[in-house]
Amino acid sequence: MNMMKIIVCIKQVPDPKEFSKITIDPLRKTIVREGIQSIINPLDRHALEEALRIREKHGGRVVVLSMGPPQAIEACREALAFGADEAFLLCDKLLAGSDTLATAYALSKAVRRLEPYSLILCGNETVDGSTGQVPPQLAEFLEIPHVTRVRKIEIMDDEAVVESVLEYGYRVVKVKLPAVLSVVKEINTPRILSVFGIIEASSKKINQWCVSDIDASIDMIGLEGSPTRVTDVFTPEVKRRCEIFSGSVEEAVRKAVRRLHEIGVL
């Protein structure tokens, strides 16, 4: 097997700890991110950690690829501090409003510029969208195999043997490389950021590309190139009702169960 190049796709997302502060722009129907702390998507951290472990075992290079606004450079810098060799940020106003398909298309065009590569790792989904659509769509644009919900990866020559989580168990899949694998949190425990890593990352260059750099078709990116879009956002009304049942514990339980049957819960 030639020297491996592992591409890790990461996304900067709002910190889940601050989700209660998130508001929605009523006109654009998008998340208002101002004032919200941003982090690398948690599952993307696991993807990066797995790439670093594969590099430690088999050698090669780990390249981080992200798409987002200028502040996403912070996520790229953090990925370099964790140990990535190189980082690329796809940043262009023309990409604003891209849905998962337009995002996967833009990423695929960027990946083409990074050829040759051995493996692409992604988090299985992001905390802000949770669709899980980008990794499979990326693989389809690149015309390479993909496996989702991966919890274990073993590299054997030009193949990968992976365990993919199912609802009641897992399956073992052998896939030809290059391939796209999207991982779940069970795959590893990400390492702790070190001071040495932060210092070393400060000297590494973050490459920034715009749409013209990746030769992407304008009609396939951004809001206009997205076949899906958010048409409305609303806060669901939550109604609660309380009923108190008196008597002994056994009697109260019987009344509660009877009532749950009456309202169709049981």
What tens digit of pLDDT does each residue of 89-146 get?
999 999 998 999 999 999 999 999 999 999 999 999 999 888 999 999 999 999 999 9
Residues of the chain above pLDDT 90, percent: 70
Residues 6+ apart with CB under 8 A from 114: 5, 7, 63, 65, 88
- Is the per-residue pLDDT at 27 higher than 80? no
Tell me the C-alpha distance between 238 and 77, whole Å: 41
State pTM to two decimals.
0.84
Residues 6+ apart with CB under 8 A from 181: 119, 120, 121, 122, 135, 146, 147, 150, 153, 160, 162, 175
Check residue 203 and give its pLDDT.
87
- Is the per-residue pLDDT at 28 higher than 70? no
Reduce the DSSP state of residue 207 to 3 states and report it.
strand
What tens digit of pLDDT does each residue of 135-152 get?
999 999 999 999 999 999
Residues 92, 67 contacting (CB under 8 angstroms): no
Check residue 231 and give its pLDDT.
78
What tens digit of pLDDT does each residue of 34-93 get?
777 889 999 999 999 999 999 999 999 999 999 999 999 999 999 999 999 999 999 999
Check residue 235 and give its pLDDT.
67
What tens digit of pLDDT does each residue of 186-226 get?
999 999 999 999 999 988 889 999 999 999 999 999 988 89
Check residue 263 and give its pLDDT.
83
Check residue 33 and give its pLDDT.
67
- Is the per-residue pLDDT at 165 higher than 70? yes
- pLDDT grade, residue 30 (50/70/90)? low
- pLDDT grade, residue 29 (50/70/90)? low
- pLDDT grade, residue 183 (50/70/90)? very high
Tell me the C-alpha distance between 63 and 226, whole Å: 27
Q: For residue 26, how many C-alpha atoms fall within 13 Å in the half-sphere facing its CB? A: 1
Tell me the C-alpha distance between 26 and 37, whole Å: 21
- Is the per-residue pLDDT at 250 higher than 80? yes
Check residue 130 and give its pLDDT.
85
Check residue 1 and give its pLDDT.
57
Check residue 31 and give its pLDDT.
67
- Is the per-residue pLDDT at 25 higher than 90? no
